[in-house]
Amino acid sequence: MGRFGPVLPELILSIGATALMMVAAFAGRRGSTLVGWLAVALLIGATFALIGAPSHAGPVFEGIVTADLFGAFGKAIIFPAAAVAIIAAHGWFERGTEHASEYSVLILFSAVGMSVMVSATSLISLYVGLELTSLASYVLAAYRRTDERSAEAGLKYFVLGALASGILLYGISLLYGFTGTTAFAGVAAAFGRGAPSLGLLFGLVFLLAGLAFKISAVPFHMWTPDVYEGAPTPVTAFFASAPKVAAVLLSTRVCLEALGPATDAWRQIVIVAALASIFLGAVAAYGQTNIKRLLAYSSINNVGFALIGLAAGGPRGGSAVLFYMAIYVVMTLGAFLCVLWMRDAEGRPIETIESLSGLSQTRPAFAFALFIFMFSLAGIPPMFGFWPKLVVFQAAIASGYVALAVAGILGTVIGAYYYLRIVKVMYLDEPAEPYARTREPVQGALVLLAAIVVSPLGYLLIGPLGALTDRAAGSIF
Amino acid sequence: MNGLPLLSLLIAIPLIAGGLCLFLKAERARWTALIATLIDLALSLYLWAQYDPDGAQWQFVEKLPIGGGVSWALGIDGIAMLLIALTAFLMPICIGASWRSIERRVPEYMAAFLLMEALIMGSFAAQDLFLFYIFFEGGLIPMYLIIGVWGGAERIKASYKFFLYTLLGSVLMLIAMIYMVGAAHTTSIPALMAYDFPVEAQRWLWLAFFASFAVKMPMWPVHTWLPDAHVQAPTAGSVILAGVLLKLGGYGFIRFSLPMFPEGSYIFIPLVFALSGVAVVYTSLVALVQRDMKKLIAYSSVAHMAFVTFGLFAMNRQGIEGAMLVMLGHGFVSGALFLCVGVVYDRLHTREIDRYGGLSDNMPGYALLFMLFTMASVGLPGTSNFVGEFLSLIGTYHASTWAAVVATTGIILGAAYMLWLYWRICFGTQRNADAAAMTDLSAREWWLLAPIAVAVLWMGVYPETFMRPMRNDVGRLLTRLERVAPAGDSRLTLGKGAMHMDHGATH
């Protein structure tokens, strides 16, 4: 047990997922609700298994993965986010014929992959974790296989994802070829020996390009709007939350730990990607009429802000990234849970922004929740979404990147326009046809919880969460 | 002081009442809002009574660390106390002004107003840099909704313009704040007010803060959001916008720009004077040709705010005290003028000046009060604005003769557009039958306007009430500015008054 203690959460999820797959196979469609709740229980169990000494055990299995606070922090975001994605699907697929229990199982496998991603300290485990997550994601995107858009999303995601994996793998092989090791520590040592050779730089660039695809940073963002729009909404909620956190944290660990000595080499790439993501994410969202596409651009925009923290570098920058992603997940999941409730009288999902028209008069609480999420995503105080942005700008300015911070903050003003548009549609326009009411008390409670966290009450979290992210980021240095 | 966290209460009461309003029916929401704002008014008057003008600089101090270096730190000096009192005074009047004119979505309206009051109180009371920013910026959200939901025909464009314009101004200030906190290692406003930043940094910091406060103030040429916002906002929205929100800009200069960056302020005096000078002349001329009453008053606000910037950047006692008094006086008078517009708008549903005329015949009470506020706006001695404008002009004269010359034209132009406005509305022949049929002020309208009239006269006759609380604080600010205050070109010396025998006069 001692040997496996540090990977207890992954064990719980892997064994549990395999067992649930059997249940799903034999119970068929009837067992889907049961499997869903069991999967949620497994994820909660795995989250609790993070508490305690084994999660700080340091490198395990000959340094392929490590158990440190950085990884544990990532998992503590990823597992609950995955659980929310399973709860979000409850009541979504029932109507059609396609909801089988495999949805929950796929999310569990994906969670295992992400958990490997955030604790990987070797290029090989990095790739294995990433691929496990991606494979599950491709299937999830195409989950509603009778729906053309969903199938298209799945195919697009798969083709582009495979290309990105190829690029990533090429970068990994270059790094391996020029350093002779796949361990992060070894790569860092190789970069530490004077100016990096051309081969190393090529490896670095390809590695970062592959990762940029996974976090959907500009210029590798093309797939995001289409996949987010086409995939079933609970799956989109999942894509925008847990895998994104895992990929951003993975990139952070790669940049700060494996490529730490080459900071000057990757920093310019990250700065360009950050600013491009912020501005493209903000500008491209202007003309959108589909709320899922809009939230896709919003997620691109948000990743840009997280990358500003990464560009700042050092423990402070790492801490800012962690803080940003933690709050980002809450805002995004809250917003997507609201999107989930947009159904017409027959219960069919609606995705147009116009349908939100006058929501504040037909469904005040629903509108108010979305209002909080939108202003929070826009980073307008007094909503708590303001604070993570402040934290990344603080990190950037502390590292001397004032111009970067100024450019980033101007991006928030451009971005504010389209978040404001949603509020305008909900509050300023005349009521449209009201949505059908859904009976989902658990989802309602989750929206309430998320809204409270990003409301001004969230400022009470600054102390504890800030201390935690500082320690977590400190653990990779 | 006593144990009660008075300032927190001042913020919490409207916040709680606002939340409560959302769950109530229209009539109850109105009463809840009125009672909450009246309690706040009582509290702020109690605060004034308890405030010791000769005591410590910061009184009623509260501090509760939140974490991450930020704390819930509140505290006021005389300047903040006066502005808090102004806010608390105008708020019940705003609620009263919306009593019947707002019919749609009343609970949300009241909630937005109360949230706004809480945020404004917070901005004036905050002693933590980031806490201030959160309150300052948070005020955009309720105002956006007030203009956007309950405004006129062009409300959506106006609300966007208001929101994005002021947001753009403020974000640069946030970057400057982060830099300051990084350099000075504190977020405490009192500590930062005594911190000397390097002169080179002060330049940039001053500009970043200026971007925010100049938009808020608003100064020419970034004032263009104001006429749109005013015209589209409901009456009470205009009152609070002109009465209190614009004061955040002036307050920002007093609290941040001047004491934190004295050298920066000195360097940019010519810029401020130039922009203020253009504002006085240009916006007054623009006001002269307006056909819409609200637009006219909105442009006059820009012109009046230029007196504030003139006075502040004169960096002497008369200038700064005068600027503060202009802010308070303008808070009363422009609020009252917007209410006067609201009174006739509620009856005829037009703000077109030409649609009115000869109202002194059928609305004598209205004509009387409107006359008083018009005179106050012009700056007639005996009214509030005279004291402020006079002091601020003296201050400006000490600093620069030419600036004073330009600024003074504003008084003349102000008289021109205000008197002409009054003449066209209240005097002359009654051209329109519907305007002639309007009834005089109702009891509710008397209750709204009379307290402001009393305040305007009080301030005009006995300004000491308002100058006493801030005297020591202005003194502290002047000590801070001593090393940079402009010498001035007016060469004022205290006259010796030559004795008659000295020059050999015989009788």
The Cα B365–Cα B382 span in angstroms is 20
The candidate with the shortest Cα–Cα distance to B124, out of B252, B216, B3, B6, is: B252
Instruction: Check if B64 contacts A (Cβ < 8 Å).
Output: no
User: Which ipTM did the prediction report?
Assistant: 0.89
Asked if the bond preceding B221 is cis, omega within 30° of 0, the reply is yes
Nearest-CB residue to B156 (from A393, A405, A428): A428
Give the closest-approach CA distance of B104 to chain A in angstroms.
11
Task: Report pLDDT digits (tens) over A336-369.
Answer: 999 988 888 777 788 888 888 888 888 888 889 9
Please check whether residue A153 is in contact with residue A226, taking contact to mean a CB–CB distance below 8 angstroms.
yes
Q: Does B65 touch chain A (CB under 8 A)?
A: yes
For strands B70-76 and B59-67, give the pairing: antiparallel
Residues 177-206 of B with CB under 8 A from A: 178-179, 181-182
Tell me the two tokens of residue A317.
Answer: 């920058």
Q: Which two tokens stand for residue B408?
A: 């003074």
Cβ atoms of B364 and B440 within 8 Å: the answer is: yes
Q: Are A63 and A89 in contact (CB under 8 A)?
A: no
**Amino acid of residue A383:** M
Cα–Cα nearest to A17, from A131, A136, A148? A136
User: In the numeric block, which tokens belong to residue A222?
Assistant: 């093309």
Residues of B within 8 A of A398 (CB-CB) are 182
Instruction: Tell me which chain A residues have a C-beta less than 8 angstroms from the C-beta of B141.
Output: 375, 380, 382
Q: Please give the Cα distance from A261 to B118 (Å, whole number).
A: 49
Strand-pair category, B59-67 with A58-60: unpaired
Question: Which of B68, B159, B171 is the closest to A409 by Cβ?
Answer: B171
Q: By a Cβ cutoff of 8 Å, what residues of chain A touch chain B?
A: 360-361, 364, 375, 380-382, 386, 390-391, 393-394, 397-398, 402, 405-406, 409-410, 412-413, 416-417, 420, 423-424, 427-428, 456, 459-460, 462-464, 466-467
The residue count of chain B comes to 507
Which of chain B's residues have a Cβ under 8 Å away from the Cβ of A466? Answer: 67-68
Chain B residues with CB-CB distance to A380 below 8 A: 137-138, 140-141, 167
> Are the beta carbons of B138 and A428 separated by less than 8 Å?
no
Q: Which residue has the tokens 């697009």?
A: A156
* A427: closest chain B residue by CA: B149
Which phi and psi angles does A476 have, rounded to 5°? -100, 5
Among candidates A382, A416, A424 on the partner chain, residue whose Cβ is nearest the Cβ of B148: A424
A to B CB pairs, distance under 8 Å:
92
Residue in B167, B163, B123 with CA at minimum distance from that of residue B147: B163
- How many Å is the Cα radius of gyration of chain A? 21
CA distance B328 to chain A (A): 27
User: Maximum CA pair distance of chain B?
Assistant: 86
Question: Does the beta-carbon distance from B168 to A397 stay under 8 Å?
Answer: no
CA distance B72 to chain A (A): 10
Sign of the Cα torsion A118, A124, A128, A130 reads positive
Write out chain B's pLDDT in tens, 507 residues. Answer: 457 888 888 999 999 998 898 888 888 888 999 999 999 999 999 999 988 888 888 888 888 888 777 888 898 998 999 999 999 999 999 998 888 888 888 888 899 999 999 999 999 999 999 999 999 999 889 999 888 888 888 888 888 888 888 888 888 899 999 999 988 888 889 998 888 889 888 999 999 999 999 988 888 888 888 888 888 888 888 899 888 988 999 999 999 999 999 998 999 999 999 999 998 999 999 999 988 888 999 999 999 999 999 999 988 889 999 999 999 999 999 999 999 998 888 888 888 888 888 888 888 888 999 999 999 998 889 898 999 999 999 999 988 888 889 999 988 998 999 999 998 888 888 777 887 888 888 888 899 899 999 999 999 999 999 998 998 989 988 888 888 877 777 666 666 665 655 555 555
Minimal-distance CA residue of chain B relative to A428: B149
**Can you tell me the distance from the alpha carbon of A157 to that of A145, in angstroms, rounded to the nearest whole number?**
14
Cα A251 to Cα A215: distance, rounded to the nearest angstrom = 9
Is B149's CB within 8 Å of A427's CB? yes
> What is the distance in angstroms between the Cα of A460 and the nearest Cα belonging to chain B?
6
Determine whether the interchain pair B148/A428 forms a contact, defined as Cβ–Cβ distance below 8 Å: yes
Find the distance separating the first CA and the last CA of chain B, reported in whole Å: 64
Distance CA(B251)–CA(A441), nearest Å, equals: 47
CA distance A369 to chain B (A): 14
d(CA A42, CA A152): 31
Cβ atoms A469, A319 nearer than 8 A: yes
